[in-house]
Amino acid sequence: MNKPDLVAGFWRLADPKISLASMASIFLGACAAAAVGTIHYLWLGLTVIGIFALEVAKNASGEIFDFDSGTDFAVAPEDRSPFSGGKHVLIDGLLTRSQTILISTVAYSVGIGVGLAILIWREPGVFGIGVFGVLCAFFYHAPPLKLSYRGLGELAVAICYGPLICVGTYLVQRGKIDIAPLLASIPLGLLIANFLVINEFPDVKADAAASKRTLVVRVGRRNASRIFALIFSLAFTLSLLLPVAGLPNWILLGVVALIPATLASSCVWNTPEQTAKLIPAQRNTLLTFLLYAIGAGIGFLTS
């Protein structure tokens, strides 16, 4: 048990390597917007701040609900990894319960405040996207919806980290929603959802004990390893079809992400039961969605 450390606890809740998912989606949306007009950096900066605040808020509120459900307690030491197992700020004593609640409250307030500023002074059309995003962030863990406990976590992640953030970023910049960023964001959403899936493998026993019905809990590690590969296949098939749908051919730069995706799929396919051997697959899955976002984003910019 560590002594309470507000800075260390906040940093763990912020978890930059996990926040890369939302930043990748913002990057793709911003690149799509830059391809057809001037980027307004003040509003882009506020978009980043607002989304990051909601990431911290979601992680902090989720820490409370997962702690209360017993999920975090049930993760065995051998199943801990740098990418899964929860933030453990309460179990490790980095934050008190009241500090965690305070961070969550302040972060939600910042995220909502930024959203209102964008709504009032920049783009009223973000209202629906913003409300949906905040509700998904809070009810991802919280009752009565408890999306991640009811087998809806993967779908929520695919929607929010794909179309919702990417199209929302584009909307703030251009004042409208176009088909190009929407289509490009669908493979990204699938790739980020797959990052959630790979991170569910080490937690499967703990999640099952807490009645958290993740994909891996529902179908088992072996079957989930096959679904993991299928999600990658679907994402890259859709990305290859993007030029057919009228997007620039350079969008196919995102297909470079197939390299780490193949490595991750092979690893999970062959060793789905051993957490220590899955860590490289977790790392490669993270690299997959980053490379896709960067490649596809550059594809927009070169069109």
Say which CATH architecture domain 6-301 belongs to. Orthogonal Bundle (1.10)
List, for residues 207-253, the tens digit of each pLDDT value.
998 899 999 999 999 999 999 999 999 999 999 999 999 999 999 99
SS3 readout for 214-259: CHHHHHHHHHHHHHHHHHHHHHHHHHHCCHHHCCCHHHHHHHHHHH
Cα 158 to Cα 67, 86, 117, 182, 205: the distances in Å are: 25, 19, 26, 13, 24
What is the pLDDT at residue 9? 86
Q: Are 161 and 193 in contact (CB under 8 A)?
A: yes
81 backbone dihedrals φ, ψ, rounded to 5° = -145, 165
Q: Are 140 and 58 in contact (CB under 8 A)?
A: yes
**C-alpha to C-alpha distance for 291 and 94, rounded to whole angstroms:** 33
Each domain of the chain, given as residue ranges in start order, spans: 6-301
What is the pLDDT at residue 98? 94
* pTM of the predicted model as reported, rounded to 2 decimal places: 0.95
What is the pLDDT at residue 1? 55
**If the chain, 303 residues long, is cut into consecutive pieces of 10 residues, what is the mean pLDDT of each piece?**
78 85 98 97 98 95 87 72 78 90 96 98 96 97 94 97 98 97 98 97 90 95 97 98 97 98 97 91 97 98 89
Q: Are 242 and 295 in contact (CB under 8 A)?
A: no
Long-range pairs for 116-124: beta carbons < 8 A, 24 or more residues apart = 117/46, 118/43, 118/46, 118/47, 118/50, 118/172, 122/43, 122/172, 123/171, 123/172, 123/175
54 HSE (CA, 13 A, CB side):
27
**C-alpha to C-alpha distance for 248 and 186, rounded to whole angstroms:** 16
What is the pLDDT at residue 3? 73
Under 8 Å CB-to-CB from 178, ≥6 apart: which residues? 32, 36, 170
What is the pLDDT at residue 226? 97
- Give the residue from 160, 182, 238 showing the smallest Cα distance to 33: 182
Cβ-based burial of 246 (10 A; exposed 0-12, middle 13-18, buried ≥19): exposed
**C-alpha to C-alpha distance for 25 and 202, rounded to whole angstroms:** 26
What is the pLDDT at residue 270? 95
What is the pLDDT at residue 138? 96
